[in-house]
Amino acid sequence: MKRVQKGWLQKFLKAAIDELKIYGIPNIDNNNKDVVSRELLNIILDELKGSQVKELSKILSSSDSMTEKKRRVKELIKEIGEYGSYDIITNIITNPLIVGLVIEGK
């Protein structure tokens, strides 16, 4: 390699390394995680009545402890019933995004 090219390449690589140190390595999976999270949320909310969605929002935004929030969410899920719960789980597992993740082993 010519001396000029070698010097330029070293400067380029040093600048790239410095940027990675400052900004970190980009996480490409974050966008995919956001899409999957939204899909899961949509599946769950689609099975709830409007009043149940409002109640869920009220529970999650309350100042209750996480233990109390989980207890209240569990009560809300009981209202959906056994078959409603089966529908949610079935829709989650058979969602194309989830199927792809299961097949990939993630």
Which residues span the domain enclosing 60? 28-104
Divide the 106 residues of the chain into consecutive groups of 10 and give the mean pLDDT of each group.
58 67 59 79 88 92 94 89 85 83 70
Domain membership of residue 11 (yes or no) is no
Domain membership of residue 40 (yes or no) is yes
Predicted confidence at residue 100, as pLDDT, reads 78
For the chain, how many structural domains are there in total?
1
Predicted confidence at residue 28, as pLDDT, reads 47
Distances (CA, A) of 71 to 3, 42, 59, 65, 76: 69, 22, 10, 10, 9
Could you tell me which residues come within 8 angstroms of residue 59 by beta carbon, excluding any fewer than 6 positions away? 69, 72, 73, 76
Assigned token pair, 70 = 């989980």
Predicted confidence at residue 58, as pLDDT, reads 95
Domain membership of residue 16 (yes or no) is no
Assigned token pair, 79 = 């209202």
Q: By CB neighbour count within 10 A (0-12 exposed, 13-18 middle, 19+ buried), where does 73 fall? A: middle
pTM (2 d.p.): 0.59
